[in-house]
Amino acid sequence: MRLDVFTQVPHAFAWMTEQRPLAAVLGTELELRLFNYRDTTPLRAGQVDDEPYGGGAGMVLRVDVVAAALDAVYGDAPEQRVIALTPQGRPLTQAVVEELVTEPALTLLSSRFEGFDERIVTHLCSDAISIGPYVLSGGELPAMVLLDAIARRLPGALAEGSGENESFSTVLEGGLEHPHYTRPAEFRGWSVPDVLLSGDHARIEAWRLEQSRARNAVS
Ligand SMILES: C[S@@+](CC[C@H](N)C(=O)[O-])C[C@H]1O[C@@H](n2cnc3c(N)ncnc32)[C@H](O)[C@@H]1O
C-alpha cells in the first residue's frame, strides 16, 4: 500500500516511522509519503490558511492551497481515495480500518486551527473520517492513529497470529478481547485464574470466549 499524508507538520511523523508496527512494514508492504502544503502553496511566504468568511476566530485551510498540493503530486484528480481527517467525518472503527487496508493507495489530508475550507471536503475528498467525538489541535495525531491501525493489519507488521484475536476482530465476534495475565501467578493475593494454569487448551479457549462475551455484554 502507498499512503500519502498531507500536513503542515511532516516532522511530527518521524518518531513513528522508527517504531513497530510501522517500522516493520515501511519499505516493503507500506510506502509512506509526507507532503507539506507549504511546499506547493501558490501564496506568498508559505501561506496556507486564511481568515474565515463571515468572521470568527481561527484560520481556515485554503482550498486553492490543497488543490495545488494534490495537483503537484497527482497531476490530475487522484485515482485513490482522498480522506479528510475532521471531527465531522464518519467515525473510525476497526471495520473502517479493515476496509481501508484493502486499498492499494490512500491519501490523508490533515488540517489545523479552525479546519478545512468546506470545499476541500466536498470537492477534493472522497471521504472524511473522525477518530472520535472530541477535538484535537491538528490532523497529525488522527493521521498517525489511522497509519498505525492500518500498518498493524499489513503482512509482517506483527508476530504471526497476534493480530487475529484482537478486540473487534471477527474471531471475537466483533467484540472485546478477553483479559490477559502473565507472571507472577500470585501478587499481593491477586491470583491468575486457575484455568489459565491448567494447560487444558480447550478449557482455556472456552474461558476466553466466555470472558470476551461477558465484556461485550457490559460494554
Ligand atoms: C482544531 S481542529 C478543527 C475543529 C473544527 N473547528 C470543529 O469544531 O470541528 C483542527 C484539525 O484537527 C483535526 N482534527 C481534530 N479533531 C479531530 C478528530 N476528532 N478526528 C479527525 N481529525 C481531527 C482536523 O484535521 C481538524 O481540521
Q: Please state the pTM of the whole predicted model.
A: 0.94
Per-residue pLDDT tens over the stretch 145-194: 999 999 999 999 988 767 777 899 888 888 899 999 999 999 999 999 99
Q: What is the CA radius of gyration of the chain?
A: 22
Per-residue pLDDT tens over the stretch 43-85: 999 999 999 999 999 999 999 999 999 999 999 889 999 999 9
For residue 3, which phi and psi values (nearest 5 degrees)? -120, 120
192 within ligand 1 shell (Cβ under 6 A): no
175 within ligand 1 shell (Cβ under 6 A): no
Nearest-CA residue for atom 2 of ligand 1: 137
Residue 184, C-beta contacts closer than 8 angstroms, at least 6 positions apart: none
86 within ligand 1 shell (Cβ under 6 A): yes
Residue 6, C-beta contacts closer than 8 angstroms, at least 6 positions apart: 35, 36, 37, 66, 69, 70, 107, 108, 109, 110
56 within ligand 1 shell (Cβ under 6 A): no
Nearest-CA residue for atom 17 of ligand 1: 87
For residue 73, which phi and psi values (nearest 5 degrees)? -90, -40
Q: Which residue has the higher pLDDT, 160 or 113?
A: 113
